[in-house]
Chain A
Amino acid sequence: NPDITEERLKATFDVDRFTEFYHGGLKRLKSRRKVERYLEEHAELRDIRPTPFMSRDELIDNSIRKLAGMAKFNEMIDLNDIEKTTYFLQMVHVRDSMPFSLHYLMFLPVLNSQASPEQLATWMPLALSGTVIGTYAQTEMGHGTNLSKLETTATYDPNTQEFILHTPTISGAKWWPGSLGKFCNHAIIVANLWTQGKCEGPHPFWVQIRDSETHEALKNVRLGDIGPKLSLNGSDNGYLIFDNFRIPRENMLMRHSKVLPDGTYVKPPHSKLAYGGMVFVRSMMVRDIANHLANAVTIATRYSAVRRQGEPVPGKGEVKILDYQTQQYRIFPYIAKAIAFRIAGEELQVIFREVSKQLKKGEASQLPDIHALSSGLKALVTFEVQQGIEQCRLACGGHGYSHASGIPELSAFSCGSCTYEGDNLVLMLQVAKYLTKAVTSPVASGICAYLHKKSSALQSAL
């Protein structure tokens, strides 16, 4: 298309060098391109037809077909290279989700951070082999972010050395739109732990919920699908109810806290150690959601360079809509935001890796900082990305409403992120709580140091 070629010839910078910077260096870019080539060479990993034309059943069928085929391509699944693995999965399933989405994104990372070395040795091979399809079930129908009020209980019985998982009310049913209801055979269940007559708060447990061979629900476990979602319909919208379901004591994830055979509870060295998994997921989310905005601005910008509309000077022909200042103001600030949010997401991952190293040494002093930062970034970025995608949709005129633009799918996917992994407003209030502590503490350091400074001038120096 001559219009878009003309645009490319105008560039004032080296595009390849920008790409390298944006993707964090040549090594990461090469790994990314390797995945892309792999997908180009393996048609069986791609969609038979565009997914917006598929029904929910067809979408699930399509996801499973690609998933089953992926067993042959396990060279692309490498948990030592989480970046390459997640990009591969993202490229195979794009924004449709699939039964293994939460397995890789949450089940494995939480297992990795919360299971003891002995537990990891037993479970990780099963989880990696594909015989275990896992998800993470913390949320309940009636409870989200307020973990302390989760209704599901895990009561320790020292006589049998088992935990009894129980859902006391319908509002306590686990609800997780990440394949909990139909496709997973295991889940990490977060339940309030009771032992020796005392509630010790929410703890994670490794729980088998379906038979490994028949895939039927286990006795005293009731589970199913709630129904279609706005997006991510390649995975089911599951619910799960326990009726005094027994699991061995060893199924409690015991890296940080433990229950001994006699029922004695051993506290974690730091109360917030269990937040590591959440922080990891949010750190991934910020960058991924920024990427959705990058997708949307790419669509809106390219389309605006080929779409012509209006003829300001009669006889001179219609102009590219990208030349209108109003169109530029709709798109360009969001190009800038896509980059800003990506940088913030990348940095968050750097900090997360650093804090994880410290946690392994038992040092948890920075955990509240990164917990607050990841909560706030997740909340702000998901909300603003959602607004940005909407502006990009409007920038594409009527075609932006069509699935052919790709924008409805981006929009539907992204708006989910405003509520999953913590409702945005609740997260912002958690940040506020953290700030109240920083303000009132005698010394504030790191990202809160500015709170204890005085303004250097009464007026801006601008």
Chain B
Amino acid sequence: SSHKTYSDLQIVQDFEHVTRRAVLQAMDKLKIASGTMPDAWNRCSVELSKAARWHIRLYIVRIVLSKISTAPEDLKPVLRTLAKLYIFDLQVSNKGHFMEEGYMSAQQIDELKEGIWDAMSTIRPDAVSIVDAFAIHEIELKSVLGRRDGNVYPGLMEWTKHSQLNEKDVPVAFDKYLAPIIKKL
């Protein structure tokens, strides 16, 4: 299938494959090391923690796809595009794991990349509305750059009024330390 018809089931199966492989490889390494080294766990810990990370990624992928499948119909297109962007980007960024022993080919990775660019173009007109939909109140956002009305530059000039440095034209520290030196020069 193409990235457009890559089903939820297939996605989950692919993540399960990669995660299972990462976990079992780490366990094999641990098993071998345990027979010879007292600090086997420590010597395998980087691979073990990476395997754990895959387990959590798999959980997130599974739960996100499952939750979106229960979303209202009119929201599904935008949510699915976002989910695919998250998932495809995860796969492309970790393509080595997906390509091990030829599980995925370079052509398939290219297909996923196309999926990412497609998703980004689809999201572009909706981007501001998606973040608006998070409904984060200005009190919480505490940001001149992110203000809802978009009036960033007038906002920045407002912000300058709070700076104590602007209370005096010449800073006290300048008068105290630099002015005497400059006068001597």
Choice from B24, B103, B144, B155 contacting A459 with Cβ under 8 Å: B103
B136 near A294 (CB under 8 angstroms)?
yes
Q: Are A377 and B126 touching (Cβ within 8 A)?
A: no
Contact indicator per residue, chain B 74-116, by CB within 8 Å of chain A (1) or not (0): 1101110011011001000000001000111100100110000
Contact check, B10 vs A3: say whether CB atoms are below 8 A apart. Answer: no
Tell which of A22, A331, A431, A455 touches B56, judged by Cβ atoms closer than 8 Å. Answer: A431
* Distance of A340 Cα from B72 Cα, bound (Å): 17
Q: Given A332-B85, A436-B27, are A462 and B150 also a contact pair (CB < 8 Å)?
A: no
Contact of B131 among A17, A298, A343, A435 (CB under 8 A): A298
A53 to B123 CA separation, bound complex (whole angstroms): 36
Q: Measured between C-beta atoms, what is the minimum distance from B10 to chain A in Å? A: 5
Contacts of B53 in A (CB 8 A): 376, 379-380, 428
A332 pairs with B140, CB closer than 8 A: no
Is B83 in contact with A336, judged by CB distance below 8 angstroms? yes
Nearest neighbor of B9 in chain A, beta-carbon distance? A461
Q: Which residues of A contact B20 (CB under 8 A)?
A: 450-451, 453, 455
What chain A residues lie within 8 Å of B2 (beta carbons)?
Answer: 462
Using Cβ atoms and an 8 Å threshold, which residues of chain B touch A404? 143-145, 155-156, 159
Instruction: Check if A10 sits within 8 Å of B125, measured CB to CB.
Output: yes
B77 to chain A: closest CB distance in Å? Answer: 7
Q: Report the separation of the CA atoms of residues A435 and B147 in the bound assembly, to the nearest whole angstrom.
A: 45
Chain A residues with CB under 8 Å of B89's CB are 333, 336
Verify if A121 is at the interface (C-beta below 8 Å from B).
Answer: no
Majority SS at the chain B contact face:
helix
Chain B: residues with Cβ within 8 Å of the partner, total of 89
Interface string of B8-49 (1 = CB under 8 A from A): 001001101101100110110010000000000000010011
**Distance of A190 Cα from B135 Cα, bound (Å):** 39
Residues in A neighbouring B78, C-beta threshold 8 A: 12-13, 18
Task: State which of A97-105, A300-308, A414-422 sits at the interface with chain B.
Answer: A300-308
Beta-carbon contacts under 8 Å, A252-273 to B? none
Interface string of A1-34 (1 = CB under 8 A from B): 1011101101111111111011100000100100
Q: How far is the CA of A407 from the CA of B105 in the complex (A)?
A: 39
CA of A213 to CA of B63 in the docked complex: distance in angstroms? Answer: 50
Q: What 0/1 readout, one digit per residue, does chain A (225-260) give for beta carbons within 8 Å of chain B?
A: 000000000000000000000000000000000000
Which B residues touch A343, using CB under 8 A? 60, 63-64, 67
Q: Does any Cβ of B come within 8 Å of A396's Cβ?
A: yes
Interface 1/0 per residue, B153-177 and A, CB below 8 Å: 0011001001110000000000000
Q: What's the minimum C-beta distance from A459 to chain B, rounded to whole angstroms? A: 6
Neighbour of B127 across the interface among A49, A299, A301, A376, CB < 8 A: A301
Contact B140 A18 (CB under 8 A): no
Q: How far apart are A320's CB and chain B's nearest CB, in angstroms? A: 10
Closest 10 CB pairs of A and B: A1-B150, A406-B143, A299-B146, A4-B150, A11-B129, A431-B52, A432-B48, A7-B128, A18-B133, A336-B86
New A-B pairs, 8, CB < 8 Å, besides A36-B137, A39-B139, A432-B26: A7-B129, A12-B78, A332-B123, A335-B127, A336-B86, A341-B60, A399-B156, A460-B104
